[in-house]
Amino acid sequence: MSVAIPRTAVTAARRFIDRWLFRLSGPEAAPVVLGQRRVFVLPTAAGVAFAATVLLLLIGSINYGLGLGYALTFLLAGLGFVAILHAFRNLVHLKIEYGRCEPVIAGSIARFPLVLSNGRDDARIALALSAGGGTPVIADVAPRAAETAALRVVARRRGWQPIGRVRLHTTFPLGLVRAWSYVEPDLRCLVYPAPERDAPPLPPSGDAADGRRPGAAGSEDFSGLRDHRPSDSPRHVAWKSAARGDALLTKLFEDGGSEPLWLDWDRLPAGLDTEARLSRLCAHVLLAKSSGASFGLRLPGGAIAPGRGAAHVEACLKALALYGEPDGD
């Protein structure tokens, strides 16, 4: 008869092992230094075969009284112990600091930069770092130098995504043993909602009443150029630039009396759920950015005043990413 183990007991056991064995008690502030009690050494498959070979050589030398057999056996055994020492030294006292994570779109790859600092006079060779089941990143750190290793993790959902537990290991120098350790950096990446594919056009702004195209830029003062779209008016095309053989561009104008565009949660179709609304608003933010329009964002519980520019767009995307999150800072 099988006995079910409560999930809380399993979780408590894992936390105890993390604290006692791996010295992990949650996200760690930088810098993290791998002390001697945090580095573990175990044989690889090749190391197990090597140890079995040395044992067979020792047994044969004892049975047949082979002096050269003893010499070869102890030479190989000493080589194995030296491999253990160098694998351990390749990780111990390594200092780990954190870089800055750039925001990404949900479904893309988040990059978590870790800065590996080597305070010794000899290099650290073939250090492998991995997180979240991703492909390990291999790094070599020169003596008295630092090297940045960017771990790549799939950003599966919007909001703050922590890097989680990072595994460092090395089989340097002979591949007979593996030295390894765990760290849990206090490092996270902001993940924006995935913009809706084939999103509808921008909603009407206050300019729609005077017959202008909804969400369009003004028509008085020239403000710049952008890539041409089939829906743009032919009179706004930069024909002189096109005549020189350049790409087809559209002129942007600003109208001091125009009303800003509002991207409003409550004006979206009632059938859209929360994530679909966020995806559509994200797509509209990007459309408004590319059109050069001044726009604001209204969400339940708050609003962002109309504006333009990279900082304004980032503020709107961050608000969409953290909507409904308990940790929204």
The single residue listed with the structure tokens 């702004």 is 205
Of 29, 7, 14, give the one whose Cα is nearest residue 188.
29
Q: Express each pLDDT in 249-280 by its tens digit.
A: 776 655 554 577 899 999 999 889 999 999 99
pLDDT given at position 21: 60
Percent of the chain with pLDDT over 90: 63
pTM above 0.85? no
Please compute the mean of the pLDDT values over residues 117-129 and round it to a whole number. Answer: 95
Q: Express each pLDDT in 179-198 by its tens digit.
A: 999 999 999 999 999 999 98
**pLDDT tier for residue 13 given thresholds of 50, 70 and 90:** low
Please compute the mean of the pLDDT values over residues 24-50 and round it to a whole number. Answer: 91
Q: Express each pLDDT in 193-249 by its tens digit.
A: 999 998 888 887 654 433 344 444 444 555 566 676 776 667 667 766 666 766 777
pLDDT given at position 133: 79
Count CB-CB contacts under 10 A for residue 197.
7
Please compute the mean of the pLDDT values over residues 294-317 and round it to a whole number. Answer: 93
Asked if 141 and 124 count as a contact pair (C-beta separation under 8 A), the reply is: yes
Tokens of 157: 């959902």
Instruction: Characterise 90 by phi-psi region: left (phi > 0), alpha (psi -120 to 50), beta (else).
Output: alpha
Asked if 308 and 218 count as a contact pair (C-beta separation under 8 A), the reply is: no
Asked if 31 and 95 count as a contact pair (C-beta separation under 8 A), the reply is: yes
Q: Where are the alpha helices (DSSP H) in the chain?
A: 7-20, 45-64, 67-91, 239-243, 274-291, 310-321
**pLDDT tier for residue 329 given thresholds of 50, 70 and 90:** low
Tokens of 56: 């067979």
The C-alpha angle 250, 256, 260, rounded to 5 degrees, equals 80
Please compute the mean of the pLDDT values over residues 23-31 and round it to a whole number. Answer: 79
